[in-house]
Amino acid sequence: MGAGRSTRPAAGAVEVTMKRGPYAEALKPTARRAAVAKSALEAETAGLRLERRIDGQLWATRGGDRRAVWVRRCFPWTGPTRYVSLRDDDEKEFALVRDLNEMDADSRAALEEALAEAGFLLRIARILAIDEEVEIRNWKVDTHHGRRTFQTRLDDWPREVPGGGLLIRDVAGDLYHVPDPSDLDRNSRELLWAFVD
Amino acid sequence: MMNQKHTPNHDIIARYTDQPQRLPVELRAQIEAAWGGRPVQLYALADLDASMRLAELWVVLGPRHVAIARPGVTREGWDLLSIDRSRIRAVRESPGLSGSTLSILGEPDDPALGVVRFTNRQRRAFENIKFVLEQQLEGRTIEPKDADRQYAESVAGPIKEAQALVAGHRMAVIWRLLAYLRPYRRQVAIGMGAAAVITLVSLVPPYLAGFLIDRVVRPVQDGSTGVAAVASIAWLAVASMAVVYLVRQAGALVRLRMLSVLGEWVARDLRTELFEHLQRLSLSFYSRKKTGSLITRVSSDTDRLWEFLAFGIVDVSLSLVMLVGLSVVLISLDWRLGLVMTVPVPFFCYAIFLHGERIQQLFLRAWRKWSRVTDVLSDTIPGMRVVKAFNQEDREAGRFHERNDDVTDEFSRIHHLWTTFWPGLMLAVHGTTVAVWAFALPRLLGSATGTPTLSAGTFVSFLLYTTMFVAPIEIIGQMARIMNRATTSAHRVFEVLDTEPEIVDVAEPVRLEPVAGHVTFENVTFGYDGVRQVLRGVSFEVEPGEMIGLVGPSGGGKTTVINLIARFYDVTGGEIRIDGVDIKKLDTGHYRRQIGIVLQEPYLFHGTVLDNIRYGTPEASLGDVIEAARAANAHDFICDLAHGYDTVVGERGHTLSGGERQRVSIARAILHDPRILILDEATSAVDTETERNIQQALDRLVAGRTVFAIAHRLSTLRKASRLFVVEDGVLKETGTHQELLQKPDGRYRKLYQLQRELA
């Protein structure tokens, strides 16, 4: 019992010493949060270069470290041009790009290209028909990429996305975006009426 | 040319997508010619081009090549890029939100050999191709067959998971439903006959009223006839009226009695057929469908069909008869007034139909908002601890309030619409009555010609008939909705009935009496979905009475091995033999009776402990049950229950702890006395003390049987005669505990050391 106490002080004791000790200032929650965010994020983008290889793969270089990376937007709808995570083949984060504007022009172009590819979804230009069947809803639409027929489950409603517009997910997982429902032609608006607030 | 098999998957592609049902025939020929006659093994549609427009490119896999075909730019036909598979060094898929890119790569720093883009709809088909290429890179050859089927299955798959049957034509579904009435032809005929009599007979009273006025009342009142002369006619009319009402109500009695029960019978037949079919379906069906949706199909869908069969059909068909009958009678009574009355009827029906459509839209919107209300409920009520911990009660209340108001607005809109529509429609109906008056009056009074051209009796009959128009108009207007509801329910029921069981017995199955327990796997491969294999070339031989411990990482294939032994699925390649007989040739029911399974999460049915222990062997004596419970270390806790073995357990019954449930299920297995026993993580969900109890019970259970046991805690396998390490779909190591520990780089050794460190 006595040995236990000497090697392992009670949890409360640790807290007390740390609060009074040299880390006291840094341990204040706000200071800690800000410091972590600032130092880490700045360090990650500093000296970061991106390029697209001839095989189409995006490569990132920072210092002597160089590897193939994948892009993932942290906030695809809330902030599409901010906080882009660059991930390596092991799904570990290699760097977090805080803002695309912080990159040099070439890197930025390479990143934008990769983002456009990864963020591709079908943008709806016109709705031709919406029919209900057993268990599924059948949509016929014109997208900016061509005509498409797809299905959603009856209880799977289109959702509003933070950046604006309506997002519809079909049974295969494809996404269809209506950037501004009020911008559609009259017939489309009427068909979509029940799904828009 | 290959024969083009047409499957339900092809129908789904044709109906629900805008893409081809299969690789174009001429392209297939062109590719196979370019490959020197080698066959197409797999293919997928790359439906996005380089500029991300929807397009038609094909990626085709052959034994030696991969071809990418795109429509010719300058000429008809296809431009072909054929890649030698031996040049491929890597295959890379970059998934995006809605579109993925597949790059086929050669030597590093060389441009990609081929790059294609596709939407998620094509993803499964591409994963198949990618899997084969990746296996090739690891030195394994896979030769997929039946490319058309694989393609159709992968494209139709997601749609089929949401809706398994292509929605047939509405009428075809109704006809199929009506076929269920065939055994009750007599009742149908009597019921429909009675209903027809009611309809026709109800046309009589207005006519009689007019007849009385013209032939009896008026002549007597204006003195042209004496009372005595018409008295008998008058009383005859009154008597006929009485007979009419009598016949009508007798008809109503017959109709209601015949048809309501009839609907009940058909619903019962459907329920029975459904439930029996559900018992026959393979486990893969249950992994695709939600339990809740299957339960509603057997319960509420069949109930809805009862409603339709008992009342819907009759109401709709008789309303049609009624409307036609009324129109004929009115026009024959007086064609001008008849037309005034009947011409607007189709418009009224159409207005009701349109109103139904509109209300449907409003309901859709209201349901969507309603689901947002229930979302808040299902979010916050289970998560109440979090809500309180973060002090968000007010925000949640606000969120609920807002959505609740929102949905109320929608429902108010619906009420506003129908409360406007129906009085409006009635006004229009009354408008026609007023029109009848307006047309009739001049002719009644003879103001144009000096002599009346319309008798008062005819006029009165007319007025009475006009009131009879309302009900059938309402029903006909709602016909579309009634039919829609019925076909939807019927469709959901037929969808299950049309699913074929995947495991079927051969014509003359073998019965092993008894099963000795000799299990052989010979080069067994298995995949749940065609191309990707969960087990690859697994071979082993197990002697009767051996206990085999299956170990390895989750997802490695252990559970698949036992699923195959129990024949929940059939192998895709190779063979499993029980006592030397191919498992596919066995009588499945008889074979499964000799297999016992104890699962990690034992399932107890609603019923007594006794029923549950005797589930597999209902004829067992009470003494045998106690003996089994004792062997399972369950007897003592069962005796402590208030009603002993007669305590009701399972859903809504007495709650047993996990360890207790497990011991009941072990008692069940002991009583069942299986020759082959499967233990799937039987002790992993309980504490150490309970585990010891269960372990003792299991030790008694395994004696003298062939046992396959999966366990994460390797200590539970100490009695195993041999251990199989299954990893990545392959049997990596086999041997006794000691033998496997001897292997310096052995996987089992590593696992064992890891667990000892943690312990």
Contacts of A136 in chain B (CB under 8 A): 159, 162-163
Partners of B97 on chain A (C-beta within 8 Å) are: 76, 118-121, 175
Per-residue pLDDT tens over the stretch B183-212: 998 988 898 889 888 888 888 889 888 888
Cβ-in-10-Å burial (0-12, 13-18, 19+) of A2 comes to exposed
β-bridge partners, A131:
A138
Interchain CB distance below 8 Å, A53 and B109 = yes
Q: Assign B542 to helix, strand or coil.
A: strand
Higher pLDDT, B32 or B533: B32
d(CA B605, CA B609): 9
Tell me whether B290 touches chain A (CB under 8 Å).
no
User: Which residues in A have their CB inside 8 Å of a CB on B?
Assistant: 53-57, 70, 76, 117-122, 133-136, 138, 143, 145-151, 153, 155, 157, 170-176, 193-195
Contact B94 A151 (CB under 8 A): no
Q: Which residues of B touch A195 (CB under 8 A)?
A: 364-365, 368
Q: Do B163 and A136 touch (CB under 8 A)?
A: yes
Percentage of chain B exceeding pLDDT 70: 95
Q: Determine which of B44-58, B159-173, B745-759 has the lowest per-residue pLDDT on average.
A: B159-173
Residue of chain B whose Cα is closest to the Cα of A194 = B365
pLDDT band per the 50, 70, 90 thresholds, residue B167: low
**Chain A within 8 Å of B222 (Cβ-Cβ)?**
no
Quick check: A55 and B111 CB within 8 A?
yes
Quote the strand ranges of B471-545, DSSP E.
Answer: 519-526, 535-542
- pLDDT value, residue A18: 41
Of A121, A149, A157, the CB nearest to B16: A149
Chain B residues inside the 8 Å CB shell of A119: 96-97
pLDDT at A139: 95
Q: What is the pLDDT of residues B496-510, one digit of tens each?
A: 787 777 777 777 888
The vertex-B584 CA angle with B579 and B586, nearest 5°, equals 55
**CA B125, CA B471: separation in Å to the nearest integer?**
55
Q: How far is it, in rounded angstroms, from Cα B425 to Cα B418?
A: 10
**Residue reference for tokens 């429909």:** B192
Q: Which of B124-133, B201-210, B313-322, B397-406 has the lowest mean pLDDT?
A: B313-322
Chain A residues in contact with B162 by the CB 8 A cut-off are 135-136, 151, 153, 171
Residue A136 forms beta bridges with which residues? A153
Helices (H), B498-644: 558-565, 588-592, 609-613, 622-631, 635-640
Grade residue A16 by pLDDT with cuts at 50, 70 and 90: very low
Q: Is the CB of residue B136 less than 8 Å away from at least one CB of chain A?
A: no
- Cβ distance B123 to A173 less than 8 Å, yes or no, reads yes
CB pair distance less than 8 Å for B365 and A194: yes
Q: Which two tokens stand for residue A131?
A: 């029919």
The model's pLDDT over A82-129, given as tens digits with 9 standing for 90+, comes to 899 999 888 889 889 988 888 889 999 999 988 988 888 999 999 999
Burial class of residue B314 in the structure, from the number of CB atoms within 10 Å of its CB (0-12 exposed, 13-18 middle, 19+ buried): buried
A55 contacts B110? CB cut-off 8 A: yes
Cβ distance B365 to A155 less than 8 Å, yes or no, reads no
Q: What are the tokens at B675?
A: 């020759």
Interface test with B, best of A70, A120, A140 (most B CBs within 10 A): A120
Which of A56, A135, A145 is closest, CB to CB, to B163?
A135
Q: Which residues contact B372 (CB under 8 A, 6 or more apart)?
A: B403, B406, B407
Q: Quick one: pLDDT band at residue B62, thresholds 50, 70, 90?
A: very high
Measure the CA–CA gap between B451 and B468, rounded to whole angstroms.
Answer: 30
Give the chain A residue nearest B15 (alpha carbons).
A149
CA distance B77 to B79: 7
pLDDT exceeds cutoff 90 at B119: yes
pLDDT digits (tens, 9 = 90+) for B701-730: 777 789 898 887 777 777 788 999 998 888
In this predicted structure, what is the pLDDT of residue A12?
Answer: 39
Quote ipTM for the complex: 0.79
List pLDDT tens digits, range B583-605. 888 888 888 888 888 877 778 88
Burial string for B647-685 (b: 16+ CB within 10 Å, else e) reads bebbeebeebeebbbbbbbbbbbbbbbbbbbbbbbbbeb
- Residues B103, A133: C-beta atoms closer than 8 Å: no
Name which of B3, B2, B4, B284 is nearest B157 in CA terms: B284
Q: What is the pLDDT of residues B218-250, one digit of tens each?
A: 888 888 877 787 888 888 888 998 999 999 999
Of residues B325 and B698, more confidence is placed in: B325
What is the pLDDT, as a whole number, of residue B31? 93
First to last CA, chain B: 64
Under the banding of pLDDT at 50, 70 and 90, the label for residue B655 is confident
Mean pLDDT of B491-496: 79
Mean pLDDT of chain B: 85
- Decide if pLDDT at A38 tops 70: no
With H, G, I as helix, E, B as strand and everything else as coil, classify residue B283: helix
Cβ contact, residue pair A194, B159, below 8 Å: no
Give, in order, the Cα–Cα distances in Å from B266 to each of B79, B279, B299, B473: 58, 20, 13, 28
Record: contact B162-A146, CB cut-off 8 A? no
A33: confidence class by pLDDT, cuts 50, 70, 90:
low
- Reported confidence tier of residue B280, pLDDT bands at 50, 70, 90: confident
Which is more confident, B4 or B668? Answer: B668
| pLDDT above 50: residue A48 | yes
Question: How far does CA B682 lie from the centroid of its chain?
Answer: 32
Quick check: B172 contacting A, CB < 8 Å? no
Taking CB atoms and an 8 Å limit, are B97 and A76 in contact across chains? yes
Taking the Cβ of residue B98 and every Cβ of chain A, the question of whether any pair is shorter than 8 Å is answered with yes
Residue A5 has pLDDT above 50, yes or no: no
In a mutagenesis test of the B interface, which of A69, A84, A135 is the best target, namely the one with the most B β-carbons within 10 Å? A135
Does the beta-carbon distance from B16 to A138 stay under 8 Å?
Answer: yes
Question: Could you please report the per-residue DSSP string of chain A?
Answer: -HHHHHHS--HHHHHHHHHHSTTHHHHSHHHHHHHHHHHHHHHHHTTEEEEE-TTS-EEEEETTEEEEEEEEESSTTT-TTEEEEEE-TTS-EEEEEEEGGGS-HHHHHHHHHHHHHHT--EEEEEEEEEEE-SSEEEEEEEETTEEEEEEEETT---EE-TTSSEEEE-TTS-EEEES-GGGS-HHHHHHHGGG--
B378 and chain A: CB distance < 8 Å anywhere? no
Flag whether residue B354 sits within 8 Å of chain A, measured between CB atoms.
no
Q: Is the peptide bond before B514 cis (omega within 30 degrees of 0)?
A: yes
CB contact under 8 A, B94 and A193: no
| Three-state SS sequence of B545-577 | CCEEEEECCCCCCHHHHHHHHCCCCCCCEEEEE
Say how far residue A83 (Cα) sits from the centre of its chain: 8
- Residue in A117, A131, A134 to test binding to B, most B beta-carbons within 10 Å: A134
Give percent of chain B with pLDDT exceeding 90: 20
B362:A194 CB<8 A: yes
Contacts of residue A64, defined as CB under 8 A and 6 or more positions apart, other chains included, come to none
The answer to whether B365 contacts A133, with C-beta atoms less than 8 Å apart, is no
How many contacts, defined by CB atoms under 8 Å, are there between A and B?
Answer: 116
**Do A135 and B162 make contact, defined as CB atoms within 8 angstroms?**
yes
Residue A22 pLDDT > 70: no
Task: List the B573-578 sheet strands across, edge first.
Answer: B535-542, B519-526, B573-578, B581-582
Read off the pLDDT band of A7 (50, 70, 90): very low
User: Edge-to-edge strand order for the sheet containing A159-160?
Assistant: A146-153, A136-143, A122-132, A175-178, A166-169, A159-160
Across the interface, do B103 and A56 touch by the CB < 8 Å criterion? yes
Quick one: pLDDT band at residue B652, thresholds 50, 70, 90? low
pLDDT tens-digit readout, B332-381: 888 888 898 889 988 988 898 888 888 888 888 898 898 889 888 888 88
Higher-pLDDT residue of A77 and B716 is A77
Q: How far is A114 from chain B (nearest CA, A)?
A: 10
pLDDT value at residue B292: 66
Compute the C-alpha angle B170/B176/B181, nearest 5°.
130
Distance from CA of B134 to the nearest CA of A (A): 16
